[in-house]
């Protein structure tokens, strides 16, 4: 209790503990929800499944309007159709690339085609 300047007293007769605070307890305001700049393109490797797809939804919900999603199967992955339809209904422009991220030459092509430097 010493850190927040509290005082306490104990009454054994009636079985109550009373705590009073001498100093204000610091209360932090909740941080503002993340708002993303809608202009840039956000690239998510593995962005068509699992955590990557969840990240795509998360970014879209916070204002991202341009997403580049990279996975080896690309749009043919079973889980891709639902994600792409969902992002489309929110007006998000999505570019899908069927590329393994360990393939440097292909990744360079992806980055160049999307205007990344």
Ligand X SMILES: NC(=O)c1ccc[n+]([C@@H]2O[C@H](COP(=O)([O-])OP(=O)(O)OC[C@H]3O[C@@H](n4cnc5c(N)ncnc54)[C@H](OP(=O)(O)O)[C@@H]3O)[C@@H](O)[C@H]2O)c1
Q: How far apart are CA 2 and CA 91, in angstroms?
A: 54
CA 37 to mean position of chain CA atoms: 14
71 binds ligand X (CB under 6 A): yes
70 binds ligand X (CB under 6 A): yes
Number of Cβ within 10 Å of residue 34's Cβ equals 10
Q: How far apart are CA 98 and CA 84, in angstroms?
A: 14
Binding string, 19-58, against ligand X, x = CB under 6 A?
Answer: --------------------------xx-xxxxx------
The residue number with the shortest CB distance to ligand X is 50
User: Tokens at residue 25, please?
Assistant: 């307890």
Judged by CB under 6 A, the number of residues near ligand X is 15
102 binds ligand X (CB under 6 A): yes
Interface residue list for ligand X (CB under 6 A): 45-46, 48-52, 70-73, 77, 100-102
């Amino acid at each position: 209790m010493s850190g927040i300047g509290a005082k306490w007293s104990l009454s054994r007769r009636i079985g109550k503990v009373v705590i009073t605070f001498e100093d204000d307890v610091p209360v932090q305001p909740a941080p503002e929800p993340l708002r993303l700049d809608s202009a840039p393109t956000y690239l998510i490797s593995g962005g068509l499944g699992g955590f990557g797809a969840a990240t795509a939804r998360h970014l879209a919900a916070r204002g991202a309007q341009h997403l580049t999603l990279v996975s080896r199967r690309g749009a043919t992955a079973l889980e891709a159709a639902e994600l792409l339809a969902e992002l489309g209904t929110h007006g998000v422009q999505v570019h899908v690339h069927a590329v393994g991220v360990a393939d440097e030459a292909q990744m360079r092509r992806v980055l160049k085609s999307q205007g990344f430097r």
